[in-house]
Amino acid sequence: MSKYFLTLVFITAFSISAFAQSVPVALSQTTPENFKSDGCSWFPDGNYRNCCVQHDLAYFKGGSWTKRWQADKKLFQCVAATNGFHNKFIAPVMWLGVRAGGVHWLPTSFRWGFGKKKTSK
């Protein structure tokens, strides 16, 4: 029964967040000219979209393992702090997703350091 309850909770959380309004994000003047964000990659853009765009900016720049850890932690904290009880459930799911799917060696458009050009050997 608990498996079905958790499934229901996640479906409800995703349904609510999918229809939440997104707020435009004001990026700083130090944002790279070629920076692009797709919002919450492979996740519904809810009222926490600005958290995802800031996270994309950190991922665009890349850096050390520690910086990636800090960027993912900030995403978790930002989403969890956003209005709506469902965001408390969404934050850990997003955190797990970016930890598993954001590694630099995956050939995705949202991997760690996606703004850096890969050099071919």
Instruction: Decide if 27 is inside a domain.
Output: no
Domain of 102 in residue numbering reads as 1-21+39-121
The yes-or-no verdict on residue 20 having pLDDT over 80 is no
C-alpha 39/C-alpha 51 separation (Å) is 9
Instruction: Decide if 29 is inside a domain.
Output: no
Tell whether pTM > 0.75: no
The total of other beta-carbon atoms located within 10 Å of residue 54's CB is 18
Instruction: Decide if 113 is inside a domain.
Output: yes
Q: Which of 9-23, 33-47, 72-86 has the lowest mean pLDDT?
A: 9-23
Instruction: Decide if 34 is inside a domain.
Output: no
118 or 31, greater pLDDT: 31
pLDDT at 62: 92
pLDDT at 33: 80
Residue-wise pLDDT for 43-96, tens only, equals 888 899 999 999 999 999 999 999 999 999 999 999 999 999 999 999 999 999
pLDDT at 41: 87
Alpha helices, H only, the chain: 2-18, 49-61, 65-81, 87-101
Instruction: Decide if 62 is inside a domain.
Output: yes
Task: Find the mean pLDDT for residues 31-53.
Answer: 88
Instruction: Decide if 119 is inside a domain.
Output: yes
Number of domains in the chain: 1
The yes-or-no verdict on residue 15 having pLDDT over 50 is no
